[in-house]
Amino acid sequence: MNCTRCNVELIESIEPIDTSFRGEQLSIEGIRHLRCPQCGEIEIPADELASYSEKLKQAYRDKTDMLLPEDIRALRTRYGLRQKEFERVIGVSFPTCSRWESGTSIPSLPANKLMQEAIENPPTMRRLMKRAGLSPQKKKGSIVALPPRSHADQS
């Protein structure tokens, strides 16, 4: 296989792949690929693409202190919110929340920051919910009640 730009034969490589993702410079290790010795153009074989994209997301999460899908779900369920309600609270469109929780998409940096703030600071979350027209399930005082669990735990 030749480089589409230089028409030089690509060579197999397992060196880290330097790339930028959403403005962050990342180095992805352990991906078998073909590399042009002249221009550095990289060709990732189809069977490595899934693992490359996983590693890319993980490297981005590490670098930006990104919440994990389970963190986001935990925040949402802690306040008894449905996905649509949570989207209103954070200010994102449908079906962003389910994509975040399944890991198919990664929150934007501002959304991530907002959710981190909401996790660390319950009054912030309550204020956001109020602004979205949702009343936090309050029990005397300011403690937010967890949604009741049925004995057949469906979580």
Q: How many residues in the shown chain lie near Zn ion by CB under 5 A?
A: 7
Q: Which of residues 122-151 bind Zn ion (CB under 5 A)?
A: none
Does 6 sit near Zn ion (CB under 5 A)? yes
Torsion sign over Cα 24, 58, 41, 38: positive
Minimum distance from CB of 33 to Zn ion (Å)? Answer: 13
Does 66 sit near Zn ion (CB under 5 A)? no
Give 20's strand partners. 25
State which residue, 39 or 74, has the beta carbon closest to Zn ion: 39
| Collapsed DSSP state (helix, strand, coil) of residue 109 | helix
Side-chain-side CA neighbours of residue 117 (13 Å): 14
Minimum distance from CB of 20 to Zn ion (Å)? Answer: 19
State which residue, 6 or 144, has the beta carbon closest to Zn ion: 6
| Collapsed DSSP state (helix, strand, coil) of residue 73 | helix
Report how far residue 127's alpha carbon sits from residue 122's, in angstroms, rounded to the nearest whole number: 9
Does 41 sit near Zn ion (CB under 5 A)? yes
State which residue, 36 or 72, has the beta carbon closest to Zn ion: 36
Q: Which of 119, 120, 111, 108 is nearest to 60 (CA)?
A: 108
Does 49 sit near Zn ion (CB under 5 A)? no
Of the candidate spans 35-43, 69-77, 78-86, 146-154, the one that interacts with Zn ion by CB under 5 A turns out to be 35-43
Residue 150 gets which letter from DSSP? P
Binding site for Zn ion (CB under 5 A): 3, 5-6, 36, 38-39, 41
